[in-house]
Amino acid sequence: MSSGIRALIDQHRLVSFVVIAYAFTWTVQGALAYSGMEASWTHSILIGFGAFGPPVAAGVVVWASGGSLRTWVSQLFKWRIGAKWWVIALGLPFVVLAAGVALFVLAGGPIDFSAIQSPFIYVFAMVWGTVWGGGQEELGWRGFMLPALQDRFSALVSSLLVGVTWAGWHLPLFLNPTTTHGGWALSQQLLWMVSIFAGSILWTWMYNSTGGSILSVAVFHAGINSMGIFHPADTNALVPNGVPDPWLNLLAEVTGAIPMVAVAVLIVVGYGAARLANRNPPTPQDAGLPPEAVE
């Protein structure tokens, strides 16, 4: 990379991060959509590969800015955060699930407890989700973009800005009919957007409260993503004769989103919008960036 390009990236770190993250992910996932590849394990692996756009972009910007890649990556191995935060990272997804299921049942949603998956499936989903199915994004979104934004804005505003960028980054998945996102109705897409913003607040809370542990955020992210495995909604009722029931599917989405939003609101009220934590948030330097002001 020429010195001129490195200087340009250094002068416009956040913009460069977003451009590179989108370019990497949209190229991989756009090629998959264009190829017409059917859903399969290979397809899933390639989708996960495309999701490495944010950490690739963050690594490029940290390097081009003369920062410390070691400091940036070390956030992924920060596991000494206290038992309390590991209980939250591993346990809160089950609380969100239980609340969502309760609302679903109270609203008349049909359930089938016999269809609940084995705990071993959940363990696999958690490991997969942490390293390849969503958690791998976090070195970019929370490990780079969030601390860079929090150098200028409150934690809440920074969370929402990350949320907007994060949501838009998913666009190729909605344009590919072979992905889960591609099969969603408009109402499901809108509810997903709400969950993205709520999740962005939750991940900021975890990141700031643990002093910048990307590992805990990735596990938390994977846990929330994996909760659908244990939702006891009756699949035969949700998709009778292979045709999704729009009302029941909407009900499942709404009752799943409400607990996420409720927890996010409680965090904002309880911790305050400025930091979303009881300690100062990590700085850009904690994310490996040099001390110059972020452009």
In whole angstroms, what is the distance from residue 152 CA to residue 238 CA? 45
The answer to whether residue 186 sits within a structural domain is yes
**pLDDT band at residue 294 under the 50/70/90 scheme:** very low
pLDDT digits (tens, 9 = 90+) for 212-266: 999 999 999 999 999 988 899 988 888 887 777 888 888 988 999 999 999 999 9
Whether the predicted pLDDT of 293 surpasses 50: no
Which domain range does residue 150 map to?
3-287
Compute φ and ψ for 149, nearest 5 degrees. -70, -40
Mean pLDDT of the chain: 93
Written in H, E and C, the secondary structure of 113-147 is: HHHCCCHHHHHHHHHHHHHCCCHHHHHHHHHHHHH
The answer to whether residue 295 sits within a structural domain is no
**Of 5-9, 124-128, 135-139, 181-185, minimum mean pLDDT range:** 181-185
Whether the predicted pLDDT of 127 surpasses 70: yes
The number of folded domains in the chain is 1
The answer to whether residue 292 sits within a structural domain is no
Number of separate helices (H) and strands (E) present in the chain: 15, 0
Indicate the SS3 state at residue 111.
strand
Compute φ and ψ for 274, nearest 5 degrees. -65, -45
pLDDT digits (tens, 9 = 90+) for 166-214: 999 999 998 888 887 877 788 888 999 999 999 999 999 999 999 999 9
pLDDT digits (tens, 9 = 90+) for 32-70: 988 988 888 899 999 999 999 999 999 999 999 999 999
The answer to whether residue 293 sits within a structural domain is no
In whole angstroms, what is the distance from residue 254 CA to residue 249 CA? 9
Q: How many CA atoms lie within 13 A of 222 on its CB side?
A: 24
pLDDT digits (tens, 9 = 90+) for 38-47: 888 899 999 9
Whether the predicted pLDDT of 292 surpasses 80: no
Q: Which DSSP symbol is given to 233?
A: B
